[in-house]
Amino acid sequence: EFQHRWYVIGFSEEKGKVITYALDRVSIIEITEDTFTVETGFNPSNFFKYSFGITESKTSPDNIVLKFELNQLGYLKTKPLHQSQIIEEFDNYFLLTLHIVPSFEFYEKLLSFGSRVQVVSPENVKTNLVQKITDSLANYQ
Considering the chain, what is the average pLDDT of its residues?
90
Q: Report CA-CA distances (Å) from 102 to 51, 63, 122.
A: 8, 10, 11
As a whole number, mean pLDDT of residues 28-41 equals 82
As a whole number, mean pLDDT of residues 22-35 equals 87
As a whole number, mean pLDDT of residues 40-54 equals 82
Neighbours of 111 (CB within 10 A): 13
Per-residue confidence (pLDDT) for residue 18, from 0 to 100: 80
Name the band, by pLDDT with cuts 50, 70 and 90, for residue 29.
confident
Closest CA to 81 of 110, 116, 122: 110
Per-residue confidence (pLDDT) for residue 71, from 0 to 100: 93
Is the model's pLDDT at 36 over the cut of 80?
A: no
For residue 28, the one-letter residue type is: I
As a whole number, mean pLDDT of residues 47-55 equals 84
DSSP state of 5: B
Kindly report the pTM of this predicted structure.
Answer: 0.82
How far is residue 93's CA from residue 58's CA, in Å, rounded to a whole number? Answer: 33
Judge contact between 119 and 129, C-beta under 8 A: yes
Per-residue confidence (pLDDT) for residue 55, from 0 to 100: 77
Name the band, by pLDDT with cuts 50, 70 and 90, for residue 44.
confident
For residue 3, the one-letter residue type is: Q
